[in-house]
Amino acid sequence: MLFIATLAGLLLADQIAIHLCRRVEIPGVVGEIMVGVIFGPAFLGWVHLNELLNEFQVIGVIILMFIGGLESDLNLLKKYIRPALVVAVMGVIVPFVVMGIASYAFGFPWLASLFIGTIFSATSISISISVMNEYHYLETKEGTVILGAAIVDDIIGVLMLSLLVGFMSSGNNSAGHTTNIGLLLAEQAAFFVLVYLLVRWLAPIIMGLGERLLSQVSETVMSLVICLALAAAAEFVGLSAAVGAFFAGVAVAQTESHSKVEHGIEPIGYAVFIPIFFISIGLNIKFEHFMESLPFIIIMTILACLTKLFGCGLGAKMNGFTLDSSYLVGAGMISRGEMALITAQIGFEAHLLSETYYTDVIIVIVLATVIAPFLLKNAIKRHAKHLEAAA
């Protein structure tokens, strides 16, 4: 009963926090994390991450990544493949290298530095979509390239996460059922063969079966079966369950049930499990060494913004975009959000990040996510002004 009461209180606080953040045009995810910070060990100490809350947040990660895969429009990607690919690759390489080197300079071990580089190579454009939609920029060439690049960015990010988690698992008994690196790599290769088969043939067959079942939510349930099964398969071969869930979403997105599943799965995730995931991030945060970490937080926040701005902006310029358009594309890719938070959480659970540096990395992700919409608004206004002057 105590857990149920705690869950009710956290969900109520979560909704209030999201409302207040959106009233002042701050991403709602910031408010969700702050709920965990305020009620957790960092401040009041009323709530701690116990086994039940941990299970809820794990399901939250899986559903969130599944939704991310569902939103990956491969047809859009095919239409703008060249600029999207160049923007995404430049937007991954520059943060990965710069943030990794900066982390190493701050005294991180090389593997942890690589992981931090991976965290900040991620992009989350849900906030950017909201801003572009407000200014009617979503259907422009710049908006479309940002959407396409974000899809590529997600896929590259998940593959990088797979490699790092797989590398860690090769020497870790608890991460998989074998420590034989050759066998482990073979199992992971088999997993990606399974992903290919799922996208091409298995998912349409399974979802087609769901359509024929006499149940109101059969298609949503069948999509969850695919999601959870692939998440479990990923864990079995030493990868993260989040990786399996993402590719399950990509597979279901290619079926005719895509819209119905997306409509059915989002309330399940965003009503309970996903909020608990973001709150749990706040519950893990502690400010015991905040002043000592301030130089790291300031420098890494600046680099987090600049690496995406210049990396993705350079990718757009290489494709013939004007300086203003390149600035807009770069600004639209700055926000880190969910993907970076998930990657950071996986690193924390794998003991790649200590409690102190986990807190610092989360703060940098949050700050970059808050700064991103303001830079994007500036870029849109600047772009629109020059268009008016040219006309």
DSSP string, 289-334: THHHHHHHHHHHHHHHHHHHHHHHHHHHHHTT--HHHHHHHHHHT-
Q: How far apart are CA 189 and CA 270, in angstroms?
A: 32
CB 279 within 8 A of CB 38: no
Please give the model's pTM, rounded to 2 decimal places. Answer: 0.74
How many other C-beta atoms can be found within 10 angstroms of the C-beta atom of residue 246?
A: 34
**Dihedral-angle region of residue 25 (phi above 0 means left; psi in -120 to 50 means alpha; beta otherwise):** left
| Alpha-carbon dihedral angle through residues 123, 288, 98, 128, given to the nearest 10 degrees | 20
Q: How far apart are CA 328 and CA 309, in angstroms?
A: 9
What's the average model confidence in pLDDT over 216-223? 88
Instruction: Return the pLDDT at 196.
Output: 86
pLDDT value of residue 151: 75
Q: Give, in degrees to the nearest 5, the angle at Cα 289 between 286 and 293.
A: 110
Residue 391's pLDDT is 64
Number of residues in the chain = 391
Under the banding of pLDDT at 50, 70 and 90, the label for residue 166 is low
Classified by CATH at the fold level, domain 52-170+178-390 comes out as Na+/H+ antiporter like fold (1.20.1530)
Which pLDDT tens digit goes with each residue over 85-123? 999 999 999 999 999 999 999 988 888 898 899 899 888
- Give exposure, 127-166, as e/b (b: 16+ Cβ within 10 Å): bbbebbeeeebbebebbbbbbbbbbbbbbbbbebbbebbb
Look at 95-109, 127-141, 177-191 and tell me which has the smallest mean pLDDT.
Answer: 177-191
Between 216 and 324, the higher pLDDT residue: 324
Q: Where are the domains of the chain?
A: 52-170+178-390
pLDDT at 175 over 80: no
Kindly report which listed range (90-99, 149-158, 174-183, 213-222) carries the lowest average pLDDT score: 174-183
Per-residue pLDDT reduced to its tens digit, 34-60: 898 899 888 888 888 888 888 898 898
pLDDT reported for residue 176:
45
